[in-house]
Amino acid sequence: MIRSANMKKLKGSSLVEVLTAMLILVTMISLSTAVYVRFISLQPHKQLNIQEELAQLAWEVKQNQLFDNKQVDLHEQGIYIRQECSAYQDHADLIVLSLAAYSHRDKLIASHHEIIFRQDENH
Amino acid sequence: MIKAGALTLVLAISLIMLSFLAAMMTMQQYSRQHAAEWRKNTVLERNLHSATQLLFAKEFISYEDTAWIDLFGYGTDTVSIIKKPWGAYEVGVANSYLSHDTLSCAMVMGTPFSPQERYALYIANEDRPLSVSGNTIIKGDAYLPPAGIRKAYIEGKSYEGPDHPVDGKIHESNAVLPSLAPALLNYLQSFFDTGNLVEPFPLPVAGDSIHHSFLHPTLFIALQNPAALSGMNLNGNIVIVSDSTVTITANNALEDVLFFAPCIIVEEGFKGSVQLFAKDSILVGKNCLLDYPSAVGLIPGQDDPSVMEFSPYIHIDSASTVWGAVFAQSMDSGHFMSEIRIRPGATVYGQIHAEGLLEMRGSAIGSTRCRRFKLQTPSTLYENFVLDATLNFKDLSPDYRGAPLLGSSGTRTASKWLAQ
């Protein structure tokens, strides 16, 4: 009986201690998961990457001087980009380029606004 | 089997995990701060770039105005721009603001050649032909009087160039040359009245250095007697005004500095980027290099009695090179005509504008316009004769930007970024 009782009782640790330890472990795992989800999985560099993607697109628009309105779907990144071009105030040689990246839930992730000089053939 | 002291062990593990998590969160926090900083700098730079585009646009802002602009109407992208004349060129200053940060830039602005300005030669129509002799080369379009161009034999030399002296299209010229930009010309003329200067700065001693940013108001240095600048290092937003002759020796280091004086002498071997404006004469000695964006300009005063007595002139001596604009304004009839003399071996990369006479013995890589050519030999004075000269627009870089004083295009581009 005594031997059996000893078997049930974990050697050197009370059941309360073990349960406390397990609780702490579970708490730590939850905390780690929360930290991962809150801080690591939504890393700011992902947003920066999208911002850089917009800057790259703006550069291409500038280089090619193609000022049109369009929407580009980037499935692999789970976003779509809306491009809008309009004349700046009454100046025909100045174009406002607006690029905005949205998630597929239509949440704005990043935007890029820039004024571009419309080059003529003399430049 | 769980060993003894499980709680202690778990607490130890938890402590390690907590330390690790805290480290990660701290790192993440720094990463976020860095990202926010990066985003702010990116927006500042982008808005600054947009501001410079506004400076380049035609008639967006007038001289000396400071325009404060909310770029996209969100109230967050504030920029300010200033455009001011700088000799024959213009300087643009742009500032971009975001929270407590400011990003600024300053640039010399030039103007692209419009299609009407892409020529090697424009000679005013005075109903007389242009005569070429020796190894004269005209590469590029030419605006000539209806009498055209002819090959001539002078000073024992016949024409040695290609069959067609003009390697380009020939157009008919007008009696009057394309004019200089009036606003810039008025601005240049105003400097010859030294009484207009507010709190001029004394001339620094030899060996001294001044760097003055274009983000600050212009620094004026006033000279009242004939002066020689020697061993000085002057750089930036500096204007030197004199009521007498100024001599610039070769041991000066000058960049972006403007000079206004009745007479300016640049001694042999000088190298630097300066804009020289005189009423009477400018002498650029041998082996000088006036780097871009330089200008050499003659602006005789309408009421100046000296122009009734002799011809104001610009003399660019042999083996010297000017990158920029060389121009001479000429008064109405009744005054002596101004002269530009380019000696053999001298080269001007850019623009030449002679409202009077042009004695062209060297090379002009760019566009040249003049009222009349002059050729002075020991025995004879020829008019509208050119001997052994090169007028070549085709070899001018397409990226070259002309001086707005001589150009008609309203648009601008940055031709030199200025140190701050």
Q: How far apart are the CA of A3 and the nearest CA of chain B, in angstroms?
A: 16
Please name the residues between 57 and 86 in chain B that touch chain A, using a CB distance below 8 Å.
Answer: 57-58, 60, 71-72, 77
Strand ranges of the sheet holding B89-98, from the earlier edge strand across to the other edge:
B66-70, B78-86, B89-98, B101-110, B413-417
In contact, B389 and B361? CB cutoff 8 Å: yes
pLDDT of residue A8: 52
Closest CA relative to residue A44, chosen from B29, B271, B176 = B29
Q: Measured between beta carbons, which residues in chain A are less than 8 angstroms from residue B35?
A: 44-45, 47-48
Is beta strand B381-383 parallel, antiparallel or unpaired with respect to B121-123? unpaired
The contacts of residue B34 (CB under 8 Å, 6+ apart) are none
- pTM for the full model? 0.85
Answer yes or no: do B6 and A17 touch at CB < 8 A. Answer: yes
Q: Measured between beta carbons, which residues in chain A are less than 8 angstroms from residue B11?
A: 21, 24
Return d(Cα B48, Cα B414) in angstroms, integer.
Answer: 13
* Nearest beta carbon to residue A115 from set B1, B10, B71: B71
The dihedral through the CA atoms of B305, B310, B312, B317 has a sign that is negative
pLDDT of residue B94: 95
Query: How many contacts (CB atoms, under 8 Å) link A and B?
Result: 109
Tokens representing B144 are 């000539």
pLDDT of residue B23: 87
Q: Which amino acid is at B276?
A: L
Answer yes or no: do A91 and B2 touch at CB < 8 A. Answer: no
pLDDT at residue A5 tops 60: no
For A68, phi then psi, to 5°, come to -130, 170
pLDDT of residue A121: 52
pLDDT at residue A123 tops 60: no
In contact, B109 and B91? CB cutoff 8 Å: yes
pLDDT of residue B308: 60
Neighbours of B98 (CB within 10 A): 17
Q: Measured between beta carbons, which residues in chain A are less than 8 angstroms from residue B17?
A: 28, 31-32
Tokens representing A98 are 């607006």
Answer yes or no: do A13 and B5 touch at CB < 8 A. Answer: yes
User: Which letter, b or e, does each residue of A71-98 get, where b requires 16 or more Cβ atoms within 10 Å of its Cβ?
Assistant: eeeeeeeebbbebebeebeebebbbbbb
Give chain A's mean pLDDT. Answer: 80
In contact, A68 and A85? CB cutoff 8 Å: yes
- CA-nearest residue to B412 within chain A is A123
Q: How far apart are the CA of B272 and the nearest CA of chain A, in angstroms?
A: 28
Q: Which amino acid is at B389?
A: A
Answer yes or no: do A51 and B32 touch at CB < 8 A. Answer: no
Return d(Cα B365, Cα B100) in angstroms, integer.
Answer: 48
Helix, coil or strand: residue A15: helix
Answer yes or no: do A115 and B50 touch at CB < 8 A. Answer: yes
Mean pLDDT calculated for residue range A31-45: 70
pLDDT digit string, tens, across residues A58-101: 999 988 888 889 998 887 778 899 999 999 988 888 999 999 99
Interface of A with B (CB under 8 A): 10-13, 17-18, 20-22, 24-25, 28, 31-32, 35, 39-40, 43-45, 47-48, 51, 55, 88, 91, 93-94, 96, 98, 112-117, 120, 122-123
Answer yes or no: do A91 and B10 touch at CB < 8 A. Answer: no
pLDDT tens track of chain B, all 420 residues? 555 677 788 788 888 888 888 888 888 888 888 888 888 999 999 999 999 999 988 878 888 788 999 998 888 899 999 999 999 999 999 999 998 899 999 999 999 998 889 999 999 999 999 999 999 999 999 999 999 999 999 888 899 988 889 999 999 999 999 999 999 999 999 888 765 565 667 777 777 899 999 999 999 998 888 889 999 999 999 999 998 899 999 999 999 999 999 999 999 999 999 999 999 999 999 999 999 999 999 998 766 665 566 789 999 999 999 999 999 998 766 668 899 999 999 999 999 999 999 999 999 999 999 999 999 988 889 999 999 999 999 999 999 999 999 987 778 899 999 976
pLDDT of residue B198: 59
pLDDT grade for A2, boundaries at 50, 70 and 90: very low
- CA-nearest residue to A31 within chain B is B21
